[in-house]
Copies of this chain bind each other. A is one copy, B any other.
Amino acid sequence: MAKNDMSVKEELDQYYEELKKQNLGPLWYDLGHMVTKEPVHDVEPYLWKWKTIREYVLKAGKLLEPGKDAERRVVYLQNPSLLKRGLVGYGTHTLYAGIQLLLPGESAPSHHHSQSAIRFVIEGDGAYTAVNGEKTYMERGDMILTPAWTWHEHKHEGTEPMFWLDGLDVGLVKTMAASFFEPYEEETYPMEAPENYSTKQFSMGAFKKLNESKEPGYPSPIFGYKFDRVKYLLDEMTEADNDPYDGYAIEYINPTTGGSADSRIGTMMQKLKSGQQTKAHRHVHSAIFHVLEGSGYTVINGEKFEWEKGDFFILPPWSLHEHVNTGESDVFLFSFNDKPVMEKLDLEYSEVYEDNDGHQIVEKVFVPEN
């Protein structure tokens, strides 16, 4: 290292050139990009209006039929920042959101896949989701699990169109090179379990057959999570339960573990009272939000995203965020996230925003691209 700086630089450059030819690389040169001080990613926030989504989904209702023209009749939310990276169907780097439409009398055939899925009912009732032959009837606001590799199908026995959110960990499973998919050999899996069995199974006690080894764990013994109950629990909460960063919030759990209802996809319902404003924080996990009720806005990394009933928006990883209810009535925000994955991998970490009494300066207002 006694040489002059110029010759050192030339020598290094030549060395780097040679390394590259050997499919080797200098860590000291690239370390800063490989092991960053804080998370670096390509996920940008985005927001879709329900009015637009609904219109396009209804149009799909006229263009094709599930089971015949399509495995599922679903319009998905494409995060434009990820499409630029060639990532088709990504909401965040790990999560996918699609809106499924089922018209009266229609059904979607049985299949299974290594992706986990949750459903959240946006409009209508009278359809069921069957998981491994057990039907769970769906009403507005309900959350329904179809855990990874379980056989699942849908059928609409009601009279009005039904819309629901499909939330899957498509990005995660693709990134992990772990996607497997199989249609069931027939249209319908045998319906062997009593209707709504799992939802009711712990309603009058908890039992097992003698000698039955009922291990706590995956998947949740409950498939259907009713909004009535969620609302009751949120309405019973007192000021002591009000979280500064999330407001009144409950998580959907697997009763046998106390952990997340789905083992990879976290699910949460938040309630904000009229005028309520949370403080900003950020965390490694990302999320996709759906506005079940009310109107307001969310500030994400200094950008304001205004929303009303039915809208969807993206919360990227490690992004400051705070929510405001600007309406007269309660806001109910449903969201699903990849927090269980980050926690299983010991990668979750969070930080609160301390400047300006916890509130970001709004630097711009989001306007959808067209």
Contact = CB atoms under 8 A, between A and B. Distances in A.
Interface stretch (A124-132, A197-205, A298-306, A353-361): A197-205
A182 B243 CA distance: 30
A24 interface: yes
A337 interface: no
A2 to B, nearest CB: 11
A88 B30 contact: yes
Most buried by B among A36, A73, A176, A369: A176
A45 to B, nearest CB: 12
Contact of A48 (B22, B253, B286, B349): B22
Given A177-B43, A284-B177, A56 B206 contact: no
A38 B209 contact: no
Nearest to A228: B204
Interface in A72-98: 72-80, 83, 88-89, 93-94, 96, 98
Interface in A212-254: 213-216, 218, 220-222, 224-226, 228-230, 233, 237, 241, 243, 246, 249-254
Most chain B CB within a 10 A radius of its CB, from A43, A89, A201: A89
A19 B33 CA distance: 35
Contacts of A6: none
Nearest to A19: B56
Contact of A78 (B15, B25, B39, B41): B25
Nearest to A28: B70
A195 to B, nearest CB: 13
B33 A180 contact: no
Contacts of A19: 56, 75
A336 to B, nearest CB: 14
Contacts of A11: 63
A253 B214 contact: yes
Interface of A: 1, 8, 11-12, 15, 18-28, 30-31, 33-41, 43, 46, 48, 52-53, 56, 59-60, 63-65, 69-80, 83, 88-89, 93-94, 96, 98, 113-115, 143, 148, 168, 170, 172-182, 199-211, 213-216, 218, 220-222, 224-226, 228-230, 233, 237, 241, 243, 246, 249-258, 261, 263-264, 268, 284, 286, 316-318, 341-342, 344-349, 368-370
